[in-house]
Structure 1
Amino acid sequence: MVAVDNLTVSYRQHPALHHISGQFVAGALTAVMGPNGSGKSTLLKSIMGLLKPAGGQVRTDTPRARIAYLPQMTEIDRSFPLQVRDCVLLGAWGSVGVMGGISRSLQARADAAIHTVGLAGFERRAVGSLSSGQFQRVLFARLLLQDAQLILLDEPFNAMDARTTAALLDLIHQWKAEGRTVIAVLHDDAQVHAHFDQTVLLARELVAWGPTAQVLTEPNVQRARALAEAWDDTADICHNDEVLA
């Protein structure tokens, strides 16, 4: 479904990802892990097409309309005066479009999605009045309405309480049972071991990629930390044409 071929992504000509190659398993739950600043979010944005590679490429056989992307919550403006149901209905934007109307069946689907994430009765609440956990549930309900085949989640459980995390993990397992592919940036080793089949371990360059039990070994984790500490963001800009072309 998604293949990464010698991918390099740079910010101000300093690599955030450096010659990454691998293939995501279709229908699997894959965690993307690594130290802070290791390029995890950059990888998801590259798959989504939000960043232009400095080298290499990302190939996917999934149409853009069937790809869902949930960024980190800190990147989402919650101040816009929007009700929960309207926020969830934005998940149908790809199929309804600018001129399309909101049918009763679509509203029913939105309400069903809100019920699925445990927020029945919140349909007319302003999203700005919700807690972080409640708002994340709303965003997952929006993903349900989008009906994507490939789902990209950037730190979906960050600052979430245990109850919300468990509910959203149940939903992710439901997506897997439906044959959908989920790629998520995560930080909790135990959570990844318990729920995710595959893991990509990054430290700007690739440390390991494959079944979680084989990737999240102590030697690999130590190597990722060492590589992350070795990167020098104050070094001279690299002008290697092979990397930056």
Structure 2
Amino acid sequence: MTNGTEGSDEIGGTDGLETAVDGMDDIAQRRDELAARVRAHAGEIARELAVLQGGDYGQETFDTDAGSWTLKYDAGDVQYLRFDPKSGAETYVVSSKQPPEPEPLETAMTDYGAFVAAYNEYVRSFDGLLEDVPDEFPEIESTAELVAERDRIVERIREVGNAMASELYRYEGDYGTYATTVSGTRWELKWDEGAVSYLRVGGSDGTYLISQYSPPSAPEVRRLADDVGAFVDAFNEHVRGLEADLSQVSLGEDG
């Protein structure tokens, strides 16, 4: 009769502990090498798609007999390559996260050549697309003369504005604004130490006939130039009114 210890040895034994465990390193290494090659190859397709589409990012889907392949790219590099078989789960052959499992990768790779062929066919579908597009166009009319005339008129308006600003500076002080209404529209001139800062027509959202920035458009100059004279007349009337007011001031009789 055997004791409990001997019986235990017969039941369990140690043969299993001495059996070598098959490693996964070779499979994982092969998977990683294959995934790296696919990433590099699909990256070429991503760059070609970016050039063709004229943008830094986007995606395209290509159908094969076995399923569909979707390639997403950004800045000319592949973001992911996904295989959706007609039966079974999708596989991210290329991903920014973890590499695919070896078996799904192997299944997807049996259709990878068909994916590349579908991409090539897609590119060939554009052959001759631009052959009939004209590459010669009508001559462009120059705006040089129009702009020169616009600038000449605006400069003349600036001279008038500076003359008004000089008078206002002498009478009112270093800076301020003078406003009046011409043809139902508000005209406002701002001066700063004897020079015009701006002449604005139409309130805060109006047109700046004179400003420190870009000149007004030629159509705006055409629309408003005829009223500059009326604006000057209103200013002169304003000055005459000031003179009349001052003429009424009395310092008293001579003692």
Q: How high is the TM-score relative to the length of structure 2?
A: 0.18
Q: How high is the TM-score relative to the length of structure 1?
A: 0.19
Higher relative contact order (CA 8 A, sep 6+): 1
Greater helix percent: which structure?
Answer: 2
